[in-house]
Amino acid sequence: MSYVTPEEKDAMARLLAVMNGEAPTAATTGRQPVMETEEVGGPGVVTQSEINAMANVLGKLNKVTQQVMLENSGDAEARMAMRTTRTPDGVKVGEYKIEVMMNERRLAGKQYYSIEHTGSNTVIANDITLYEVALAVVKLLNNNTYVNDHRIRQLFEVDERFTGHRVDAMTAKIHMRRAEKTGDTMKQDVFESRYQKSIDEAMRAKQDIKKILNHGSSSHR
């Protein structure tokens, strides 16, 4: 949090007195003697340094006010954003960390995610394909939702469905390319159809994430 210095308080008080047509207050904060190069304001005169000091004070007050408003607002997304920080290997959201994992041989995608409770170093899940699922789970956990909550179970099920369909799509794509190289148009058409169907199913699974979260929000109103 930003703090206002005694010098800034003095400058602000003097500027307010001048604006109100009153005699400027004397400095009471034990400032060092004014150097010859510093502006000296007479009665009713506001110096540039005092204007800058007041602008600095107002800026700090505005920053503090915005922080307090966010912390006390009902906007869960805004509060969560304030508690989100990047780490060398992922992102920390509140009391939990989402770590980015890499495996070049992983058919469902070389990048995947794990969730860990930072206080106890307890791994909640360690093979999540969708970042959206990892983030949704972490948000629920930070809102005092239990790990065995039905919404969290549903989110993990969505990730498993998405992963299965994506693996099936990648497998179909491999066979489709082989059939294309050998000139087997019949097999190529079969695997191309299978590939497209798996992609569609994977996207449908992904859309269920929002449905689960929206349903949970409406049921808790």
Q: Is the pLDDT of residue 66 over 80?
A: no
The DSSP letter of residue 4 is -
Residue 75's contacts (CB-CB under 8 Å, 6 or more residues apart) are none
Give CA separation, 47 vs 6, 111, 116, 131, in Å.
17, 58, 55, 54
Yes or no: say if 158 and 208 are a contact pair by the CB < 8 Å rule: yes
Name which of 4-18, 76-90, 111-125, 183-197 the model is least confident about.
4-18
- How far does Cα 85 stand from its chain's mean position? 7
Helix (H) or strand (E) holding 91: strand 90-93
pLDDT score, position 221: 45
Measured CA to CA, the distance from residue 24 to residue 42 in angstroms comes to: 9
Tens digit of pLDDT for each residue in 2-58?
A: 555 666 667 666 666 655 656 555 555 454 444 444 454 555 555 666 667 667 766
| Residue (of 170, 140, 169) closest to 154 by Cα position | 140
Pairing of strands 96-102, 111-117: antiparallel
The whole-angstrom separation of Cα 205 and Cα 156 is 11
Q: How far apart are CA 11 and CA 15, in angstroms?
A: 6
Residue 53: what pLDDT?
67
Q: How far is CA 156 from CA 97, 109, 130, 136, 141, in A?
A: 17, 17, 10, 10, 13
Contact between residue 216 and residue 151 where contact means Cβ atoms under 8 Å apart? yes
Cα–chain-centroid distance for residue 206?
A: 20
> 54 — phi, psi (to 5°)?
-65, -40
DSSP run (H or E) holding 181: helix 150-182
pLDDT digits (tens, 9 = 90+) for 154-198: 999 999 999 999 999 999 999 999 999 999 999 999 999 999 999
* CA-wise closest residue to 27 among 44, 42, 8: 8
Total residue count of the chain as it appears in this document: 221
Between these two residues, 25 and 94, which has the higher pLDDT value?
A: 94
Q: Which of 27-31, 32-36, 105-109, 136-140 has the highest mean pLDDT?
A: 136-140
